[in-house]
Structure 1
Amino acid sequence: MPVTARTTDTRRIILDTAQQIMARKGYSAVGINEVLAEAGVPKGSFYHYFASKDAFGEALLKSYFADYLADMDRILAQPGQSSAERLMTYWQRWRETQSVEECQGKCLAVKLGAEVADLSESMRLALKEGTSAIVDRIERTITSGLEDGSLSVDDDPREVAQALYDMWLGASVMAKIHRSLAPLDTVTAVTRKLLHP
């Protein structure tokens, strides 16, 4: 196997393993050795793939958002559905991933957002870039919904998109605190009122 392919594969294995562990435990509670042991990668290899734990955290978030955005793009591009249907499918998918007992790596922005934003500027910027890309996609879908007549909003599509994302992020945190889906049910109802699908 070419060295570059092996390097990419091993790097990806480390990132995927870390995402699963950190979705349960958080960033600070997880040591590099735990990730490497779980990934089956020798201890000494870490610095071959990442310059520091900070660089590793940034790479982890960028990898997470790349996967998340690709999945979001698939949902929002479903043929044969109105923009409203695609956007409500996205929110339903969000609810489903947040309702899994341990989130299984699907909610890294929720789990790590507040924790790492104060620890590392590069990780904060990776979070900002990733979450802004999500809001961009929500805004585009709202705009498309206004054009196809499947949605109606009372404010600027960007402001509505940002408000919706902020509400869903907050509801996800509250669902964890209360160990209840009630906050996600509430935000689903509010989303319908804001979008008038």
Structure 2
Amino acid sequence: MLIMKTESPCVRQHIIDTAKPIILGKGYAAVGLSEILSAADVPKGSFYHYFKSKDAFGEALLEHYFDDYLAWIDALLADDGTPAAERLMRYWQGWGNHQACDKRESKCLVVKLGGEVSDLSEAMREALNRGTAAVVRRLAACIEAGQADGSLATIDDAHAAAETLYQMWLGATLLSKIRRDDSPLRAALQSTRQLLHLA
């Protein structure tokens, strides 16, 4: 009797999980499909079963990254009885710690790929745009919660403040990569405290 082998949906996730640290190390354009498939030990046919192109794969990689990242933010910023300002500062301190460490898997995929792929793939640019907008919305909500519980001073536009902070931290992370030290991240933390009137 012939038994047909069916491909597990886990194969799709396995390809994404295997590719992420490789792309975090080398970038998107420098990594070919053959390298990803060899590392994942998956035949090319399986790749095209789950992704119609490398760009579709890149979009799925970013969507998965943001799904995980947003779940982490939601857990970190959730009301646990501590003031919202404290929860917000935990986020920024965690960002600085993750980006300053040597673990490749903890690095920011937005910083790594944002400048590279936004001109190469509209689908990937849109995935980055959707994901970063969702991050900013969560930060703005936490700022508003801080104003409501009295742990943050009044800020006229919480969303604009969240956008400014997020942009500053993305820039600081990029500068840390360029300088190979964490001084831009430490400066961003100090500036965050000042902008939120927590200094």
Q: Contact 1:58/1:123 (CA < 8 Å) preserved in 2?
A: yes
Corresponding residue for residue 94 of structure 1: 95
Displacement after TM superposition at 1:44 (Å): 2.5
Query: Do 2:77 and 2:91's aligned partners in 1 also have CA atoms closer than 8 Å?
Result: yes
Residues 22, 30 of structure 1: 8 Å contact kept? yes
| Alpha-carbon offset, residue 103 of structure 1 | 3.0
**Per-residue deviation at 1:102?**
4.9
User: Which AA in structure 1 matches 2:12?
Assistant: R
**One-letter amino acid matched to 2:87:** R
Check the 8 A contact 1:23/1:105 in 2, yes or no: no
The 10-residue stretch of structure 1 (53-62 or 34-43) with the greater mean CA deviation from structure 2: 34-43
Looking at structure 1, the residues matched to 158 and 87 of structure 2 have their Cα atoms a distance apart, in angstroms, of 16
Task: Give structure 1 regions of 4+ aligned residues with deviation exceeding 3 angstroms.
Answer: none
Percent of aligned pairs sharing the same letter:
53
SS at match of 2:153: coil
When the two chains are superposed, the root-mean-square deviation of aligned CA atoms in Å is: 1.5
Please give the secondary structure, in 1, of the residue aligned with 2:167: helix
Unaligned runs of 5+ in 1: none
Name the structure 1 match of 2:26: 25
Indicate conservation of the 8 Å contact 2:28/2:116, yes or no: yes
Distance 2:103 2:120 in 1: 24
For the 8 Å contact 2:99–2:106, the answer to whether it is kept is no
User: Structure 1 pair 3/89, CA: closer, same or farther in 2 (3 Å)?
Assistant: farther
Residue 146 of structure 1 corresponds to 147
CA distance in 2 between partners of 1:105 and 1:20 (Å): 9
Query: Which residue does the alignment assign to 1:179?
Result: 180
TM-score by length of 2: 0.93
Q: Which string of whole-angstrom CA distances, capped at 9 and with x for unpartnered residues, describes residues 18-57 of structure 1?
A: 1111111110011111111111212321101100011111
Aligned match of 1:62? 63
Q: CA deviation at 1:80?
A: 2.5
Residue 155 of structure 1: how far off its partner (Å): 3.6
How far is the alpha carbon of 1:173 from its aligned partner? 0.1
Q: Contact (CA 8 Å) 2:77, 2:88: kept in 1 or not?
A: yes
Matched letter for residue 135 of structure 2 = I
Displacement after TM superposition at 1:123 (Å): 0.5
Q: Across the two proteins, how many residue pairs are aligned to each other?
A: 194
Q: Tell me the TM-score normalised to structure 1 length.
A: 0.94
SS state at 1:139 partner: helix
* Unaligned stretches of 5+ residues in structure 2: none
